[in-house]
Chain A
Amino acid sequence: MSVKEINIEELKARALQIRKEILIHLNLAGSGHPGGSLSAVEILVSLYSCKLRHNPQDPQWEGRDILIISKGHITPAIYTVLANYGYFPKDELKTFRKFGSRLQGHVHTNVPGVEFNTGSLGHGLSVANGIALGAKMLKKDQRVYCLLGDGELQEGSVWEAAMTAAHHKLDNICAIVDYNKVQENGPVNEIKNLEPLAQKWKTFGWNVVEAIGHNFRNLIEALNACEKVKDKPSVIIAHTIKGKGVSFMEGESKWHGKAPNDEKLKEALAELEQESSV
């Protein structure tokens, strides 16, 4: 889908709705990860609305593209997005993180639309490579996307996978780094700096595109550009804001893995409402 064909207002409305539902269901669950969920909303909406060939009525459809969620803790975002795109009834989101629910704390294939169980960091890219390699062997027209966190890039296994994708010329892979600059215990650049990040991926043989991760036009242009690159894998470094949309959560590591209480939820929803009416 070209950027011209896209109704940006519609995507923004969807993102706003998803943000609200993320917060509501985190509050109901009483635990979970808001920061990295809110930073990834536009990335996920871009993929599900404009990029992925997918069928919510038939999640295992042979012709689908694959999205591997390497940052497996952002279930509030993933499950809310999948429910919003019709993979399962929204009502089920109330069971998130409850005993007996399909909606496990970290992404699980019990949930229609989830392709792989993750939760331990540094796993997704190797798995995505395996899928992409398999697609190449079968000469199958399939794109494989892998959503990575930034702190996760401190795991050495990510770079093992980065070498493999480049060596085997896996141009059907597109990694997306949700570069929100904050990890569990503080700013990424203070804990273990990733910079120069674009240079690192380039040196590993990847096509690198940087994008503003909350700008739909920007994200979709980046995704389209990556699709055209041959003989090398692509990575989109999406510059995002941890906790995006809720001022008291933005850039705050303490909101990495803590659910809002009733009062904080009210405050957050009021802010999002206000923003939407501007």
Chain B
Amino acid sequence: MAEMIPTRDGFGKEIVEIGKTNEKVVVLSADLEDATRAEYFRDAFPERFFNLGIAEQDVIGTAAGLTFHGFIPVATSFAVFMTNRAYDMIRMDVCYNNCNVKIVCSHTGVTVGEDGASAQCLEDFAIMRVLPNMKVICPVDSLEAQKATRAIIQEEGPMYLRTSRAPFPLLTKASDPFVIGRANVMRPGKDVTIIACGLMVYEALQAAEILMKENIDAKVVNMHTIKPIDAQMIADSIQETGAIVTAEEHQANGGLGSAVAEVVVTTCPVPMEMIAVQDSFGETGSPQELLEAYHLKSADIVEAVRKVILRKTGNRP
């Protein structure tokens, strides 16, 4: 079993490293820096850290204002509170004004666990990616979270970075590339492409192992950038495999699967299935219990792959 680290740790660690050389980086918190790991930055650079209290709308507006003097504000909180509560501020102050604000949120997906539905953000991809100018990123592991943190600071413009509370298996190496908008192939294959992000890449790789035994050769793609989606990777995957399954710890409506489907239907429609939360809120439970209950496990991906393979070969079930 791979080493397990929450992606929030990757963010927390890297933002401190960046802060050492980039004095323009300022971190804002809505009193959850202990949970988002922004506390590492608070402790390293107290003069460039502001906990504005439990006031997400104010955090986003203040962040937009800080960009006037060339600061690069990183606004942090739980994803539910930031993306939902402060949505109008993200839309108007950050996106409509095209401000160089970075929004980094932890506590996403059902793997938030015992805190239950109110803390489990399942709609952030959908509501962030619909905003013009916004880019949306979900790293696969803590190492990629470090690279993503560096990338969002380096690249100008509004960015949303999703991190996790739950430990994710380490799947990448330090030498692996990370470019915003360019997906990474985790495993080649010729029969079907599983396009996943975050923790679900691990589940997809597990599924691919199981499918091997059925002589189904699955390609696995880590689509770490939900927007701008890597349309070329999707087009290539359609060509190579002729069937697609997406997997995400997010609502089926409007998330990664929808973003992929938008490309598929306008490129070359092929059989497609989406593994995601089906229009419901989460609940209390352990991360593993919830992944199973909401059909977000490798077994569910395997089932979806069987369906698209049947459709692809013309054998409708």
| A residues whose Cβ falls under 8 Å from a Cβ of B | 66, 109, 115-120, 122-123, 125-135, 137-138, 140, 156-157, 160-161, 163-164, 167-168
Convert B66-107 into 0s and 1s, putting 1 for each residue whose CB lies closer than 8 angstroms to a CB of A. Answer: 111101010000000000000011011100110000000000
**What separation, in Å, do the CA atoms of A120 and B26 have in the docked complex?**
26
Binding site for A on B (CB under 8 A): 26, 47-48, 50, 52-53, 55, 57-58, 60-69, 71, 73, 88-89, 91-93, 96-97
A134-B68 in contact given A116-B97, A164-B58 (Cβ < 8 Å): yes
Q: For the complex, give the distance between the alpha carbons of A130 and B63 in Å.
A: 6
Contact flag A131-B68 (CB < 8 Å), given A123-B92, A160-B55, A164-B58: yes
8 Å CB contact of A133 from B50, B57, B93, B96 = B50
Q: Report the separation of the CA atoms of residues A90 and B62 in the bound assembly, to the nearest whole angstrom.
A: 33
Q: Could you tell me the distance in whole angstroms from the C-beta of A144 to the nearest C-beta in chain B?
A: 8
Main secondary structure of the interface of A (DSSP, over half): helix
Q: Which of B58, B64, B65, B71 contacts A160 (CB 8 A)?
A: B58
A128: nearest chain-B partner, CB-CB: B65
| Distance of B231 from chain A, by nearest CB (Å) | 30
Q: Which residues of A contact B65 (CB under 8 A)?
A: 126-134
Chain B contact surface mostly: helix
Q: How far is the CA of A123 from the CA of B99 in the complex (A)?
A: 14
| 17 examples of A-B residue contacts, CB within 8 angstroms | A116-B93, A118-B92, A120-B88, A125-B61, A126-B60, A127-B62, A127-B65, A130-B62, A130-B63, A130-B67, A131-B68, A137-B48, A137-B71, A140-B69, A160-B53, A161-B58, A163-B53
In whole angstroms, how far apart are the Cα atoms of A126 and B73 in the complex? 14
Contacts of B50 in A (CB 8 A): 133, 168
Does the CB pair B69–A109 fall under 8 Å? Answer: no
Task: Give B24 Cβ to nearest chain A Cβ, in Å.
Answer: 10
Q: Which residues of A sit under 8 angstroms from B66, Cβ to Cβ?
A: 130-131, 133-134
Give Cα A118 to B93, complex, Å: 8
* Assembly CA distance A189 to B25 (angstroms): 44
Q: Do A161 and B61 touch across chains, with their CB atoms under 8 A apart?
A: yes
Task: Tell me if A120 and B61 are in contact (CB < 8 A).
Answer: no
Q: Complex: how many Å from CA A112 to CA B65? A: 18
In the complex, the answer to whether A164 meets B97 with C-beta atoms within 8 Å is no
Once bound together, how far apart are the Cα atoms of A138 and B24, in whole Å? 11
Q: What is the CA–CA distance of A117 and B69 in the complex, to the nearest angstrom?
A: 17
Q: How far is the CB of B19 from chain A (nearest CB, A)?
A: 14
Q: Which residues of A contact B57 (CB under 8 A)?
A: 122, 126, 156-157, 160
How far is the CB of A110 from the nearest CB of chain B, in Å?
12
- The distance from the CB of B230 to the nearest CB of chain A, in whole angstroms, is 30
**Given A134-B68, A160-B58, A117-B89 contact (CB < 8 Å):** no
Chain A residue with Cβ nearest B86 = A157
Known: A123-B93, A163-B58. 13 other contacts (CB 8 A): A116-B64, A119-B92, A126-B89, A127-B62, A127-B93, A129-B61, A130-B62, A130-B63, A131-B65, A131-B66, A157-B58, A157-B89, A168-B50
CA distance A61 to B234 in the complex (A): 46
Q: Are A164 and B92 in contact (CB under 8 A)?
A: no
User: Does the CB pair A129–B62 fall under 8 Å?
Assistant: yes
A156 to B58, CA, bound (A): 10
What is the CA–CA distance of A138 and B70 in the complex, to the nearest angstrom?
11
What A residues does B64 contact at CB under 8 A?
Answer: 116, 126-127, 130
User: When the two chains form the complex, which single residue of A122, A123, A134, A164 contacts B69, counting CB atoms closer than 8 Å?
Assistant: A134
